[in-house]
Amino acid sequence: MCIKRAITILCSTGLLASTVYAQGKKPALNGQAKMNAFISQLMAKMSVDEKIGQLNLVTGGEATTGAVVSTNVEAKIKKGQIGGIFSLTTPAKIRRTQEIAVNSSRLHIPLIFGQDVVHGYKTAFPIPLALAASWDLPLIKHTARVAATEASADGINWTFSPMVDIARDPRWGRVAEGSGEDPYLGSEIAKVMVQGYQGDDLSKNNTIMACVKHFALYGAAEAGRDYNTTDMSLNRMYNEYLPPYKAALTAGAGSIMASFNDINGIPATANKWLLTDLLRKEWCFKGFVVSDYTGVTEMIEHGLGDLQQVSGRALNAGLDMDMVSDGFLTTLKKSLAEGKVSIASINTACRLILEAKYKLGLFDDPYRYCSEDRAKTEIFTPDHLTLARQAAAQTFVLLKNQNHTLPLKKAGTIAVVGPLGNTRTNMPGTWAVNADLANTPSLVEGLKAVAGDKATITYSLGSNLMADETQQTNGTMFGREIKRDTQTEQEVIADAVRDANKADVIVAALGEGSEMSGESSSRTNIEIPAVQQRLLAALLKTGKPVVLVLFTGRPLAIKWESDNVPAILNVWFGGTQAAYAIADVLFGEVNPSGKLPITFPQNVGQVPIYYSHKNTGRPLPDGGWFTKFRSNYLDVSNDPLYPFGYGLSYTNFSYGAIKLSGTKLKRGQGLNASVTVTNTGKVAGKEIVQLYLRDLEASITRPVKELKGFKKISLEPGESKEVIFTLTENELMFYNANLKYIAEPGDFNVFIGPNSRDVQTCKFNFSK
Ligand code: NOJ
C-alpha cells in the first residue's frame, strides 16, 4: 500500500515519470506548461458532449477488422462527436476530412488519423516475426522510420504498432505480427520500433505516434484461439509477458491499445488493475489508452452488462478512447447523469487525447501531414525498395542445408513448383493493408530477374494451397490470390513432376498463404497442408535435389520435411521485395543469417514449447527421450525440431571457449563473458552470438535459460572476432514472489552459443 502511494506521488510530481519514460520529445518544462495551459483553455470551452466526442474513434472504412463499420461519420465530425479516424488514406481524403473538423465543428479541434502501419506502408517490409529473425535492431528501427515516413506522407499521424505481445503458441495466427517468444528480444525490438516511428520530435511532419498493442497478454490466448481468455499468475506476467510493453512505453510510445482478451476474469478493456494500477500508478504512463476494434461493445458478449454498463466500466477502469463501439459516445452522458462515471474521468481522458494531438503539432497546423508533394516523392521510393530487399534477406532462416544443396548455381534449369511460387499478392504478408500488391514480384519473377539469362526458370503449380476450396478461400482473403486448379490432385502433381524431371534442381515454394496467419487465423494443425506435402513427396521421388522455400507466418511442424528434404529456407513473408531477396539468398549473393525468434515444435502436441521454460523436479536428462517417472512424452522427445535462436549459414562458425573476466560479480561492478568466433568456411557471413543466463539458487523457480544479450557480427572467411558481453546486476534481476525487482546473491550459469541449445557453459557468483 505504502509503496503504491509513494509511487503515485512520484508519478504525479513527474519525478519518476521523467526518468522512467517520455512520449516522443518530452516537452521542456515551459513547453509542458504551455501545453497544459492551451488544453485547459480549450477544455474550458468544451461541453460535456464535445469532451465525450474526443473519446470516439471511428473507422474511415477503407480497411476494417470487424463486422461493425462506423456510420454518419461526416455529420458526427461536424457535431464534435469524433476525436479520430483510422483506415483513411491519402492527403486529399485526409485533408478533406480534417477540413470538416477544423471548419465545421464548433471548436475546430483537429482529428487524429490512425492506421495499422505494421510492417511498412506501401513499401512492405517483412512481417514482424520475420524482422525479429534478423536480430538486427538498427535495421528494424530503419524499417519503422521508413514506414513512418511513407505513412505520414500519405496523411497518417498515428500507427497501431508495435505489436509486442509475447507469443508461445504457434496455433495463434497473430504470432506473425509480433517478435516471438522471448521477453528480452521482444523488448529490444519494441524500443527501436517506437524510436523509428516517433523519431525525436513527434511534431515533425515525418514522425507518427506509436500505439503499443495489445495490452496485455493477448499472445497467451488459451488454445491459441484468437481473442480467447488468458489466466496467468502475476509473477509470470511481470517476468515474461509484460516487459516488452513496458520497454515500448519507456522508449516514449505515446499511446497503448487495450487487448480484446479477458485477463484473470476481467477483459483488458475494463480492467482497472491493468489500465490504472499497473499502467498509470506503477508505470507512470502519461499517454492515452485506446480500445481495440469494438472492444467496448464486445464486453456485452463477455457477459458484463449492456452497452451503457460496459462503457462506464471501461472509462472507470482507465480506457480513454473507444474504437468503433460508439459506446462512449452514446452512453457516457447518461452514466454521468446517473452518477456512474465522473466528469473527472471524462476530463482526464479528453485531456490525454488532446495532448496527443498537441504533441503531434495538429493544433499548430492540422494539415501538416497532408502534403501531396510528399505523397508523390516519399512513398515507394527506390531507396525504400532497396531497404526492403536488404531487410528481407536478413530475415530468412536456413533450417537445413545437406551436402551444400544451397546456394544454387545460376545455370541450367530450375523448376519452381508450388502454389506459393507465382503469386504476387501473397508476398507482403498479413497486415500489409497499404502494400502495393500489384508491384510486388512473385518468386518466379524474382528468380528470373536475378538469374538473368544464365538459368532457365520454369513454373508449375503442383498443388492447390489447400485441398478444400472453402479453407483456401478463408486463407487467401483481402485480395491475396493463389491460383486454384480444378484438375484432380494427381493431374496437377503429374504436370509438376513432368516439369521437374526436365530440371536440374527443384525449388518447392510451399507452406502457408499469407492470410493463414494474422488476425483470426488460428490453426489446430500447424503442418504444411497435406495436399502440398503429397506434392513434396512426389517431387522428392524424382531424385532431383529439392530446396523447400517455406512461406509461413508461424512456426510450422515440419518434422517429415526436415527428415526428408535436403535444404529448407524459411522465408516467412518478406514484404514488397521478398522475391528478389529470396533469389539473392538462393543464388548465394547474400549469405543467410536469420535466427528463429520462436521455437519450431516437432508436433503440435508439444505446444506451448519455448526455450526459457522452468525445470521440473524430474527433468529428462539431456538428449533423452523417454524415462519412466520423468517429465516427458511416450511418443516424442521433449526437444523442439528447431530451437529458439537457431539458423544456419552458407559458412561455418566455430566458437572458442568462454572466457570470464572473473568468477565473482559484485553489485556495482561488471563481469565480462567473452568468446572468440571464427568463420571457418569459404564465404563471408554474419553470425548472431547469443548469451543466456540461469539463476541457480533463487527464491523462486527461474527459467532454465534466459536470453540476456546478443551481438550480430560479420566475419570474412578465416576471420576471428572476440565478442564481449558485460554482465552487471541488471542482467540478473527478476520479479520475486512479492513482485519486487531484485537480483539475488548466488551462483549463475552463463551460456554462450549460436542458438539456445548448442551452448557452452560457465559459472559465476553474484554477491552484494
Ligand atoms: C483489430 C486488431 O486486433 C488490432 O491489432 C488493430 O490495430 C485494430 N483491429 C484496428 O485495425
* Ligand 1 atom nearest to CA at 218: 3
Can you give the CATH number for the domain in which 552 is found? 3.40.50.1700
Q: Give the predicted TM-score (pTM) of the model.
A: 0.96
In this prediction, residue 60 carries a pLDDT of 87
CA–CA distance, 653 with 322 (Å, rounded to integer): 52
397 and 332 housed in the same domain: no
Residue 690 included in any domain: yes
231 and 276 housed in the same domain: yes
* Number of neighbours of residue 187 by Cβ within 10 angstroms: 21
Calculate the dihedral angle through the C-alpha atoms of 68, 70, 71, 74, rounding to the nearest 10 degrees: -170
62 and 114 housed in the same domain: yes
Residue 618 included in any domain: no
439 and 583 housed in the same domain: yes
DSSP-derived secondary structure for 49-61: HHHHHHTEEEE-S
109 and 242 housed in the same domain: yes
Among 312, 345, 375, the domain boundary falls at: 375
**What cell was used for 562?**
526436415
Residues 6+ apart with CB under 8 A from 414: 408, 447, 451, 455, 456, 457, 458, 503, 504, 505, 506, 507
Residue 614 included in any domain: no
453 and 477 housed in the same domain: yes
24 and 111 housed in the same domain: no
Which residue bears the cell 461526416? 74
Query: 163: CA distance to ligand 1 center in Å?
Result: 10
Residue 538 included in any domain: yes
Give yes or no: 373 in active site. Answer: no
In this prediction, residue 622 carries a pLDDT of 78
Range of the domain at 717: 653-767
Per residue in 190-204, pLDDT (tens digit) is: 999 999 999 999 999
147 and 268 housed in the same domain: yes
- What residue ranges of the chain have pLDDT lower than 50? 1-10, 12-24
Q: In terms of Cα–Cα distance, which of 583, 568, 506 is closest to 542?
A: 506
- Ligand 1 pocket check for 160: Cβ under 6 Å: yes
Query: 177: CA distance to ligand 1 center in Å?
Result: 11
Among 375, 397, 415, the domain boundary falls at: 375
* Number of neighbours of residue 144 by Cβ within 10 angstroms: 28
246 and 108 housed in the same domain: yes
Query: 431: CA distance to ligand 1 center in Å?
Result: 9
Catalytic residue among 116, 292, 322, 326: 292
391 and 521 housed in the same domain: yes
* Number of neighbours of residue 714 by Cβ within 10 angstroms: 13
397 and 350 housed in the same domain: no
Residues 693 and 708 sit within 8 Å (Cβ to Cβ): yes
In this prediction, residue 67 carries a pLDDT of 67
- Ligand 1 pocket check for 293: Cβ under 6 Å: yes
562 and 464 housed in the same domain: yes
Query: 143: CA distance to ligand 1 center in Å?
Result: 20
Residues 554 and 526 sit within 8 Å (Cβ to Cβ): yes
Give the count of domains, the chain. Answer: 4
Per residue in 130-184, pLDDT (tens digit) is: 999 999 999 999 999 999 999 999 999 999 999 999 999 999 999 999 999 999 9
Can you give the CATH number for the domain in which 738 is found? 2.60.40.10
Residues 6+ apart with CB under 8 A from 295: 258, 259, 260, 267, 268, 269, 314, 323, 325
CA–CA distance, 304 with 666 (Å, rounded to integer): 52
Q: C-alpha angle 376/379/383, rounded to 5°?
A: 120
CA–CA distance, 568 with 137 (Å, rounded to integer): 25
Residue 641 included in any domain: no
Among 342, 375, 408, the domain boundary falls at: 375
- With the most atoms of ligand 1 within 8 angstroms of its CB, the residue from 88, 164, 209, 257 to mutate is 257
CA–CA distance, 21 with 245 (Å, rounded to integer): 12
Can you give the CATH number for the domain in which 166 is found? 3.20.20.300
User: For residue 371, which phi and psi values (nearest 5 degrees)?
Assistant: -105, 110
CA–CA distance, 426 with 441 (Å, rounded to integer): 10
Residue 625 included in any domain: no
Residue 514 included in any domain: yes
What are residue 692's DSSP bridge partners?
707, 751
